[in-house]
Structure 1
Amino acid sequence: MMHDQAQQLRDRMLEKKNREEHKAKTLAIISGKGGVGKSNFALNFSIALKERQQRVLLFDLDIGMGNIDILIGKSATHNLVDLFEGDVSLKHILTQGPESLEYIAGGSGLSELFHLDENRFHHFLSEFEAISKSYDYVIFDMGAGVTNDSLKFILAAEETILVTTPEPTALTDGYAILKYIHQLQRNMNIYMLINRASDIQTGKETLNRFQRAGKQFLNKELHPLGILPDDPNVGKAVVSQVPFLQFNRRSSASKALLQITQQYLDGSITINQSAETGFVNRLKRLISNQGR
């Protein structure tokens, strides 16, 4: 009996230790320009991860123009503005979306988020550090392009997914943001996703062209995440304010996204892991460096 009780105590202590050590992987979803389907991908990718028993938190960080609410046809009661103006916890402003996906709405007037005074900054960090232990993935849907402030969140994330389309303007802007990030952090892990490809061949050619440019001009290795086809069901889903995975699971876009998600989780897409530890520590360093 005493042996059983001792084993139970050891098991509980081990479980507590594992919970304390667990940290969510952070991903920043970025694009060089608006209108390439970045937020739509972030939402549906989050849902696909959730369906595979992953604990996911989706952050809408599209400054002042958050649209996750619009894509799912829901108005969150609280958003990031409340975190700072109302001095509430991140846990308090969580909203539940499709497939029980938890997300934090962007709201409007979010310039405060990226110009934090010391007290608010530490409030955000402590809240994030506490809540992130409850998730496997925290996904940041960043605004299109990059600002000096939002850049800190991108550089602090463990992995980045750059979303673009085969359109020349999207590719040009995508390369511009890639070059800018690379100049500041050469070891950033970056995935490439081609959205709205007219066919697989066009998508592959676009991926290959972008990879060659990164290698030739930046000596940067880009990791192909996959290709999403130009599927009319996606547009219909947006109009209906329903994630396209739920609107038509058998559509070409849904099938492609599910395959990409499975390959990502299986490790079929290899990527070098960052040697640094933790999103919070990296973000602290970036903010600290800014003040010097």
Structure 2
Amino acid sequence: MVNDQAERLRQRLNSLKTQAKSIAVMSGKGGVGKSNFSLNFSLALQKENKRVLLFDLDIGMGNIDILIGESSKYSIVDFFQKDLSLTDIISTGPDGLEYISGGSGLGTIFQLDETKFQRFLQQLDLLFKVYDYIIFDMGAGISEDSLRFLLSVDEIIVITTPEPTSMTDAYSAIKHVCLNHPTIPFSIVVNRAFNKKVGDSTYSRFAQTITQFLSRQVSLLGIIPDDSTIMKAVIDQKPVLLYQPNCQASKALITISKDFIRTKSTDVEVVDSTPFISKLKNFFMKGR
């Protein structure tokens, strides 16, 4: 089955000449629903006929497998330790979603020797020609390693909740990125909002703080209500979008994906046209 999937990807690679948009999903702290959003957002984009690869970059502590109730045969760890190809380690999850598991037992990919990392970059570059979107589900907070990925992507989606601690930690994470990349676009998702008024107020206060202290503008991607269905779906280890497509959270996620596709397809300003792989390679070399 793995070989068949790898062959399908190779065939797509031969026939497609796209360039995926790279998106990092981050949060200032854990427990705000970041991985859950990454999973369901990926599924929602796929429902809009987009080719999506979800890449769990919380290496060693990934949650995607847990959220879908499956155990991947391979993970990013196997790519480096067993010399498998990236196409070999891509798993197929619910609704046919393709993803790469974060696995366990490997703390970082940046401390590897240059030969292995160059191989990683070369194969990742090929995947960028297969998909429309590559979603990187980052670990909570920011490490020196994850910062390199964050500085390389086309856009960052920040997940926060109305809780003051969540907003404070999210602000700190954005500040850290801005100090190193003053122009990268940020979109905000307010998760677990009791109602739209609370969600709008949370975003308004958050955006005002960022404008005042960081001189940056952040856009509101969407508000996800505090829907008990999400917890039920997590307990059953199923994406809420498939568990209950008509619940309030699922409707919000569908709206977010449609708005994301519509607004990004009409954007005319390109802040940085440098390919993701080139930027990541440069950051890697600087870290040596």
TM-score range, shorter chain: over 0.9
1:25 and 1:125 map into 2 onto residues whose CA distance is 16
Deviation at 1:17, TM superposition (A): 10
Question: Residue in 2 aligned with 1:290?
Answer: 287
Shift of 1:16: 9.5
* Higher Cα Rg, which structure: 1
Mapped contact 2:152–2:280 kept (Cα < 8 A) = yes
Q: Tell me what 1:277 maps to.
A: 274
Where does residue 52 of structure 2 map in the other structure? 56
CA distance in 2, matches of 1:16, 1:185: 32
1: CA distance, partners of 2:73 / 2:264: 39
Distance 1:269 1:216 in 2: 29
Q: 1:244 to 1:16 in 2, by over 3 A?
A: closer
Match of 2:224 in 1: 228
Tell me, in whole angstroms, the C-alpha distance in 2 between the residues paired with 1:231 and 1:43.
Answer: 17
SS at match of 2:38: helix
Specify the SS of the correspondent of 1:226. strand
Distance 2:57 2:13 in 1: 31
What's the counterpart of residue 99 of structure 1?
A: 95
Q: How does 1:73-222 map to 2 (within 5 A)?
A: 73-222=69-218
- Distance change (3 Å), C-alpha of 1:286 and 1:16: closer
- Residue type at the aligned position of 2:281: K
- Counterpart position of 2:26: 30
- The code of the aligned residue for 2:32 comes to V
Aligned partners of 2:68, 2:13: CA distance in 1, in Å? 36
**Aligned residue identity for 2:274:** T
- Runs of 4+ residues over 3 Å off in structure 1: 15-20, 268-272
Aligned to 2:249: 253
Aligned partner of 2:275: which letter?
G
SS at match of 2:144: coil
Instruction: Name the CA distance, whole Å, in 2 between partners of 1:123 and 1:269.
Output: 32
The SS at the match of 1:109 is coil
**Mapped contact 2:13–2:130 kept (Cα < 8 A):** no
- Look up the match of 1:11: none
Q: How big is the shift at 1:23?
A: 1.2
1:288 Cα offset (Å)? 1.9
2:43 pairs with one of 15, 25, 47: 47
Q: How far, CA to CA, are the matches of 1:259 and 1:138 in structure 2? A: 19
Equivalents in 1 of 2:60, 2:230: separation in Å?
24
In the alignment, structure 1 segments of 5+ residues that lack a partner are: 1-14
Give, in angstroms, the shift of residue 269 of structure 1: 9.2
Cα deviation, 1:176-203, whole Å, max 9, x if unaligned, reads: 0011100110001110010000110000
What is the TM-score with the length of structure 2 in the denominator? 0.92
Take 1:69 and 1:210, find their aligned partners in 2: how far apart are those partners? Answer: 32
How far apart are 1:18 and its partner, in Å?
8.4
Give the one of 4, 16, 19 matched to 1:19: 16
Q: TM-score, normalised by structure 1?
A: 0.91
Correspondence for 2:238: 242
CA offsets per residue over residues 122-175 of structure 1, 9 Å max, x none? 010011011221100000000000100111011101110000100011011000
How far 1:268 moved relative to its partner? Answer: 7.2
* Length, aligned pairs only: 276
- For 1:138, what is the secondary structure of its paired residue? strand
Shift of 1:110: 2.3
SS in 2 for 1:58: strand
Higher mean alpha-carbon deviation, 116-125 vs 39-48, is at 116-125
CA distance in 2, matches of 1:157, 1:17: 24
Give me the whole-angstrom Cα distance separating, in 2, the residues matched to 1:93 and 1:248: 29
- 1:9 alignment counterpart: none
Q: Distance in 1 between matches of 2:262 and 2:98?
A: 23
Q: Secondary structure at the match of 1:166?
A: coil
Contact kept, 8 Å, 2:13 with 2:129, in 1: the verdict is no
In the aligned structure 2, how far is the partner of 1:30 from the partner of 1:257? 17
